[in-house]
Amino acid sequence: MAGDGAGRGQTRATDRDGMRLENHVFERLRDLLPTSIATRTELGAVVCRARDGGLSDAEVKVGLGNTVDIGQREPNCGCPAGTTPVAFWHTHPVELFGTGPGTMHGEADFSPPDLDIADDLGIPAFLGSWDGHFRRYDPVPRKSVALPGGGSAQVLRTDAEGNVVKEVRKPSTVLPRMLPTSAPRAHRGPGPLIINVAPPR
Rule CB under 5 A: say whether 119 interacts with Zn ion. Answer: no
In the bound complex, what is the minimum distance in angstroms from residue 105's beta carbon to Zn ion? Answer: 4
Count of H-run helices and E-run strands, the chain: 2, 9
Nearer to Zn ion, 57 or 114 (CB): 114
Nearer to Zn ion, 14 or 111 (CB): 111
Asked if residues 44 and 195 have their Cβ atoms less than 8 Å apart, the reply is no
In the bound complex, what is the minimum distance in angstroms from residue 92's beta carbon to Zn ion? Answer: 6
Q: Of these, 60, 70, 83, 114, which contacts Zn ion (CB under 5 A)?
A: 114
The single-letter DSSP state of residue 167 is P
Show the site string, 8-27: x = touches Zn ion by CB under 5 A, - = not. Answer: --------------------
In the bound complex, what is the minimum distance in angstroms from residue 23's beta carbon to Zn ion? Answer: 21
C-alpha neighbours within 13 Å on the C-beta side of residue 135: 23
Rule CB under 5 A: say whether 105 interacts with Zn ion. Answer: yes
Asked if residues 129 and 91 have their Cβ atoms less than 8 Å apart, the reply is yes
Residues in CB range of 189: below 8 A, 6 or more apart? none
Residues in CB range of 153: below 8 A, 6 or more apart? 144, 145, 147
Question: Which residues in the 76-95 window bind Zn ion by CB under 5 A?
Answer: none
Show the site string, 130-149: x = touches Zn ion by CB under 5 A, - = not. Answer: --------------------
Residues that bind Zn ion (CB under 5 A): 105, 111, 114
